[in-house]
């Protein structure tokens, strides 16, 4: 009993010993916190180019204008090239005065050519690095990944913060390292956000052309290799199917363009199910949504109910068609981007054991996917004065 009381007294004191009792052997002021990484194929065959982006604490002042260049950028970027990601990072570390720490890495952007060659080297390093954050977002650049890092962070301090916002705001699918590893372990595919890099005139800088980065779609992977890409509208439908997109806006037209309406979806949801038919799985993807009409133009003045019926019909047909096209593309390349194989595993484990090893070919040739949409218009605003249900 005395020993138990003594332990109760000493335990709080041990927890208050500070950094000196920490298991970490590196002090915080001796570390370089890598916020983002940009990976490209090297200029020489069989090499990889790695760029790290890390903040400079002495320049991260609250009074500094975000995106400005006065006093220098609040982050540093270092680039090296070698045969593997591990070797390249070792070369970068050799030139730094502080030790790497990847626990704060939130985004990794890979160049398109590197992604087409395969991400096995990168994934191997990410799994072996002890400070890796499994919630790191992965994205694909259309060309050189470093071009994305050159974007002008108008509303943020660092480019990495802009990329993180793309994912957390649910404008497109936000795939993490954990999602990629989980999909690959089950022999299924996954989709990453496909970025766009260009130059645009900045109003704040007298219309000066500055690097700008946006989203142009999704990139489809299988076995950690980029197979193809999807355009924006199909990508939105895929993001909806995995419950990632929030607040999408759709514009539909009818009567050969004479009628037009824009619907802002305030609520979106999806459901997936599977049933066995003649020994083969048949999947049903159901997209549900409720939206408000925020713009309507029609040369023929329709009453509320008739306009509602037309807009809902056109909207359901549009979204259904976009998801069907995206799924046909994924089946053509054999990448189960919705990870429908998981449903087979959960509901028909015996059948899954038979097809798991050849799931890519099975998904490509033997799987039937049905798409159902149930999107409803809640109201038309003040113009038609339709009361919400």
The structure's pTM equals 0.82
Segments making up each domain of the chain, as ranges: 29-229, 242-380
State the pLDDT at residue 156: 64
Choice among 57-66, 104-113, 353-362, 372-381 with the minimum mean pLDDT: 57-66
Q: Nearest CA to 127 among 166, 55, 177? A: 177
Q: What is the b/e burial string over 145-177, where b = at least 16 CB atoms within 10 angstroms of the residue's CB?
A: bbbbbbbbbeebbbbbbbbbebbeebbbbbbbb
Report the CATH architecture of 242-380. Answer: 2-Layer Sandwich (3.30)
- When comparing pLDDT for 84 and 6, which is higher? 84
- When comparing pLDDT for 326 and 56, which is higher? 326
Long-range contacts of 273-282 (CB under 8 A, 24+ apart): 273/343, 274/340, 274/343, 274/344, 274/347, 274/348, 276/348, 276/351, 277/368, 280/366, 280/367, 280/368, 281/340, 281/343, 281/344, 281/348, 281/351, 281/367, 281/368, 282/368, 282/369, 282/370
Residue 98: CB atoms within 10 A of its CB come to: 15
State the pLDDT at residue 346: 95
**Mean model confidence pLDDT for the chain:** 84
Q: Nearest CA to 281 among 351, 219, 210, 376? A: 351
The answer, yes or no, to whether residue 190 has pLDDT greater than 90, is: yes
State the pLDDT at residue 197: 80
State the pLDDT at residue 298: 72
The pLDDT tens digits of the residues spanning 134-179 come to: 999 999 999 899 888 877 665 566 777 888 888 888 888 989 999 9
- Measure the CA–CA gap between 279 and 334, rounded to whole angstroms: 20
- Measure the CA–CA gap between 252 and 326, rounded to whole angstroms: 19
State the pLDDT at residue 319: 97
Residue 186: CB atoms within 10 A of its CB come to: 16
Residue 76: CB atoms within 10 A of its CB come to: 14
């Amino acid at each position: 009993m005395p020993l138990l009381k003594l332990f109760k007294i000493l335990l709080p004191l041990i927890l208050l010993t500070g950094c000196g009792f920490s298991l970490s052997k590196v002090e915080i002021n001796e570390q370089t916190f890598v916020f983002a990484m940009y990976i490209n194929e090297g200029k020489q065959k069989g090499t990889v180019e790695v760029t790290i982006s890390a903040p400079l604490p002495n320049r991260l002042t609250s009074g500094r204008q975000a995106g400005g260049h006065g006093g220098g950028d609040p982050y540093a970027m270092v680039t090296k090239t070698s045969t593997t990601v591990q070797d390249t990072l070792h070369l970068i570390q050799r030139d730094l005065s502080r030790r790497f720490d990847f626990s704060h890495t939130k985004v990794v952007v890979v160049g398109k050519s590197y992604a087409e060659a395969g991400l096995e080297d990168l994934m191997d390093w990410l799994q072996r690095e002890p400070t890796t954050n499994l919630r790191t977002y992965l994205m694909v650049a259309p060309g050189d990944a470093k071009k994305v890092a050159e974007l002008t962070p108008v509303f943020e301090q660092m480019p990495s913060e802009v990329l993180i916002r793309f994912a957390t705001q649910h404008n497109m699918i936000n795939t993490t390292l954990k999602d990629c590893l989980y999909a690959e372990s089950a022999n299924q595919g996954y989709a990453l956000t496909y970025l766009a890099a260009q130059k645009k005139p900045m109003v704040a800088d007298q219309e000066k052309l500055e690097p700008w980065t946006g989203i142009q779609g999704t990139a489809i992977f299988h076995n950690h290799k980029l197979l193809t890409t999807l355009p924006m509208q199909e990508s939105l439908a895929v993001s909806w199917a995995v419950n990632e997109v929030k607040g999408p806006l759709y514009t539909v037209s009818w009567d050969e363009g004479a009628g037009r309406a824009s619907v802002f979806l305030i609520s979106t949801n999806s459901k997936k199910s599977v049933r066995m038919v003649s020994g083969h799985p048949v999947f049903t993807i159901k997209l549900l949504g409720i939206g408000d009409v925020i713009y309507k133009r029609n040369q023929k003045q329709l009453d509320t109910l008739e306009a509602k019926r037309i807009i809902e019909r056109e909207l359901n047909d549009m979204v259904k068609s976009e998801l069907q096209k995206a799924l046909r593309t994924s089946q053509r390349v054999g990448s189960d981007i919705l990870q429908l194989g998981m449903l087979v595993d959960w509901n028909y484990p015996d059948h899954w054991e038979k097809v798991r090893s050849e799931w890519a070919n099975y998904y490509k040739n033997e799987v039937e996917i049905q798409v159902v949409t149930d999107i409803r218009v809640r109201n038309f605003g003040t113009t038609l004065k339709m009361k919400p249900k």
